[in-house]
Structure 1
Amino acid sequence: MNATPAVGLVERARALAPLIAGEADEIERSRRLTAAVVSALIDNGLYRALLPQSLGGAEAPIEIFMQMQEEIAKADASTAWCLGQNSVCAMIAASLDHDTANEIFNAAPGILSWGAVAHEARAVEGGYRVTARWDFASGSRQASWLGAHVRIVGSDGAPRKNADGSPELRTILFPVASATLHDVWQAIGLAGTGTDSYEVSDLFVPERFTTFRDVPSALREKGPLYKIGTGSTFSLGFAAVSLGVARATLDAAIALARGKHQSLAAGAMRDNQAVQGMIGRTEGDLRAARAYLYATASAMWRDLSATGAFSAVHRSAVRLAATWTIHQSARVVDTAYRMAGATAVFRSNPFERRFRDMHAIAQQIQARDTHYEDVGRMILSGDR
């Protein structure tokens, strides 16, 4: 099986930007990625960025994945968000046996989506039975498989525990045809992600279609990517999306300032010293955020590749950098939006949707203020 090459992923993403930007209005209107966009992402191997090479994936270094996400986000945030969600979900393949993973990811379209951790599955002979409904399944409308993260109860109804006494959590995987999808994503931003709910009733999931998520001992693939885990990879990927949205919004404000004459003003915006200063400071803020995020990812990847360990210090550093980058990106978008004045409120101009998308991103779990508390607690305990 030929692997998708990691080299060229960013260039392919950049080449797809005009197509994606041209489909963005329909993505927003229909609240789904269009067939043309999904086909282009599949044909160019972008959904396979984080899939193991043993399954024909790219198994791309984390910075390549982040850059890919940035390029797509410049064209459309909803497309980048779905791509990020589906790509990170594919990392679960590293904890499945080869035949099972091959069945899921190498039968077209080979796309997996999942939602929030919730509910229970009952252990039965040969697998598990579950009746439940889950939310926040971004990218579910193009997926061929769905997953869920559930607590396990034994046949006697008692919760199963890990050796340390914590609840046993498993990820269960099943064909999308086994579930009912509920169209609930009526959101102010990221409208095209189809982040819907899904439900199953008395579904039997064979044992081989279940595994432990982000548990090092469950890994069958030994590459450094899979030691990072899905949680931290989501953080880095979605922070990169926020950078792409911020970059596109600021670029649009710069383009506007070069040609616009503000109402009642004698000169062009580009000659206004207040505008010049605002653009300079905002450009510095965005470049600083990007440099910080990528420096953190690079240092983590270098240490991980050398030692084979993804430490609590790495996890904390990634969480801090990703959270701060999303917040900083939101401030960049806000500044660019205000700079555009009345021009920004019209849907025909490149500000209003990006403003809504950015603030939807900033409401997600990766941007919670409580992450700062977690990092601060770790620092005060003597760990960094």
Structure 2
Amino acid sequence: MTSLAAGPIAGIARGMRDLVRAESGECERLRTLTPAVVEKMWATGLMQLLNPVEAGGLEPSLSEMIETWIEMAWQDGSFGWIGIANLPSSFAAAAYLPDGGFAEVFTAHDNRVTMGGQFFPNGQGTAVQGGFRLSGSWSFGSGIGHAQYVAAGFLPMDDGEMRWISEGVPDMQVAVLPRGEVTFNDGWHVQGLKGTGSYDYSVEDVFVPVDRTFPLFTRAPLRGSSPATRMGMMPVTAAGHASWALGVAKSMLDDVQELAATKYRMSDMASLASRPTFQKGLAHHVAAWRAARLLVLDAFTTAEAAVAAGEDLTPTLRADMRVAAVYATDVARQCAEWAHLAAGTTAIREGTRFERAFRDIYTGTQHAFISEKVAIDAAQIWLGLIEDQFGL
């Protein structure tokens, strides 16, 4: 199959393989990453990789990040999910926070800032002098089990009324909260992605200075020079979701291919590898996986190149990226299902990478960010039925 982690950026993640394999079971037991994995992410530079240079990052291209995220998810679904949760969260805060907030969150901590959370505006922030009084509750705050700052999306309120950017488009902001100001309501007892520390959380009437907030859909960076900073959170998040699904599916395809030489089904004298039906299935699903990966790379690098050349990130380019992410997720799920069936009882052994990956893929692909509504919105743009959908 297509090789993983061929470049120097993705190679940073490749150096985590042995530790992640050794710690994956303990991460599941703790329901968040172990300290050993988090520390290694910092030691290798992986945790801050996506950040603007001013926040200690390398500002990799989206294609480099896609390969990095695929590599991380190939190692372990929870580890990969942390890659698409913690890294984009700190990337966004570092790029878009006002100078005062950047100094408080990043500079004051020598850029060693782990951040996670939920960006959807499930909170309300009453506007007061110098900031907001924030209240709300958020579910599935990915990566907050080991994060020192928590992101929380909210709707600004002026005298009890929502702010509007334009007709039908409310103002949506993101608050960056120190861990100590957040109440964690640990409901993270789930089928898969157990090691991600994706707790529910809430705040009640917490003051957030305006310098620790930024617009959810901004594409106007205050720091960083990579095209990704001028593309905004939605494309970066979409690239992460596509890559994650591809990585987990690839782990299952690789594992079933390795298993095939020694796997004999009951009452079958031929190995799995020698069965024509398995050979046909493997060829089909590996080809489908490769095609989905190439679609993702094409959609995201095309948009990235346009932005790098000073062009607008058009609704069509945004739709193309989001559809690529949805399609890659669908293909990945199909590949995982086939690999699981082909592996037979080997796939159901509790605690194996195969079994864990299957649980993870069917948990991660439930995310609303890659739902069928996204594909429908994108198709309506292609058809000219709508000019834009601000959430893409």
Match of 1:4 in 2: none
| 1:123-176 per-position Cα deviation (integer Å, ceiling 9, x unaligned) | 11121112222112100011111121111112x323233354632222111201
1:347 corresponds to 2:350: yes
The code of the aligned residue for 1:138 comes to S
Match of 2:4 in 1: none
Match of 1:134 in 2: 138
In structure 2, distance between residues paired with 1:180 and 1:125: 24
In structure 2, distance between residues paired with 1:303 and 1:160: 32
CA distance 1:49–1:343, change in 2 (3 Å) = same
Deviation at 1:345, TM superposition (A): 0.9
Deviation at 1:366, TM superposition (A): 2.5
Deviation at 1:348, TM superposition (A): 4.2
Match of 1:159 in 2: 162
1:237 corresponds to 2:244: no
The code of the aligned residue for 1:71 comes to E
The code of the aligned residue for 1:132 comes to G
1:227–1:309: 8 Å Cα contact kept in structure 2?
A: no
In structure 2, distance between residues paired with 1:55 and 1:259: 49
CA distance 1:260–1:218, change in 2 (3 Å) = closer
Task: Indicate the percent of aligned positions where both proteins have the same amino acid.
Answer: 27
Deviation at 1:309, TM superposition (A): 2.3
Match of 2:128 in 1: 124
Match of 2:211 in 1: 208
Match of 1:86 in 2: 86
Q: Secondary structure at the match of 1:344?
A: helix
Match of 1:95 in 2: 96
CA distance 1:186–1:246, change in 2 (3 Å) = same
2:131–2:208: 8 Å Cα contact kept in structure 1?
A: yes
Q: Secondary structure at the match of 1:289?
A: helix
Within the candidate set 300, 304, 308, 2:303 is matched to 300
The code of the aligned residue for 1:53 comes to V
Match of 1:276 in 2: 279
In structure 2, distance between residues paired with 1:346 and 1:126: 55
In structure 2, distance between residues paired with 1:290 and 1:338: 23
In structure 1, distance between residues paired with 2:225 and 2:260: 50
| 1:238-266 per-position Cα deviation (integer Å, ceiling 9, x unaligned) | 11011111111011101111111221111
TM-score relative to the length of structure 2: 0.91
- CA RMSD across the alignment: 1.9
Q: Secondary structure at the match of 1:351?
A: helix
Unaligned runs of 5+ in 1: 1-6
1:177 corresponds to 2:180: yes
Deviation at 1:222, TM superposition (A): 4.8
Deviation at 1:39, TM superposition (A): 0.4
Q: Secondary structure at the match of 2:353?
A: coil
Alignment of 1:196-345 (within 5 A): 196-217=199-220, 219=222, 221-345=224-348
Alignment of 1:45-124 (within 5 A): 45-90=45-90, 91-106=92-107, 107=109, 109-115=112-118, 116-124=120-128
1:92–1:213: 8 Å Cα contact kept in structure 2?
A: no
CA distance 1:278–1:162, change in 2 (3 Å) = closer
Match of 1:145 in 2: 149
Instruction: Give every structure 1 segment of 4 or more consecutive aligned residues whose post-TM-superposition deviation is greater than 6 Å.
Output: none
**Worse-matched range after superposition: 311-320 or 267-276:** 267-276
CA distance 1:369–1:166, change in 2 (3 Å) = closer
Match of 1:377 in 2: 380
CA distance 1:217–1:25, change in 2 (3 Å) = closer
2:26–2:34: 8 Å Cα contact kept in structure 1?
A: yes
Unaligned runs of 5+ in 2: 1-6
1:49–1:65: 8 Å Cα contact kept in structure 2?
A: no
**Worse-matched range after superposition: 90-99 or 281-290:** 90-99
The code of the aligned residue for 2:16 comes to L
2:220–2:230: 8 Å Cα contact kept in structure 1?
A: no
- Number of aligned positions between the proteins: 377
| 1:325-355 per-position Cα deviation (integer Å, ceiling 9, x unaligned) | 0010000000000000111111143321111
| 1:66-102 per-position Cα deviation (integer Å, ceiling 9, x unaligned) | 1111111111111111121111112232122344214
TM-score relative to the length of structure 1: 0.93
**Worse-matched range after superposition: 343-352 or 39-48:** 343-352
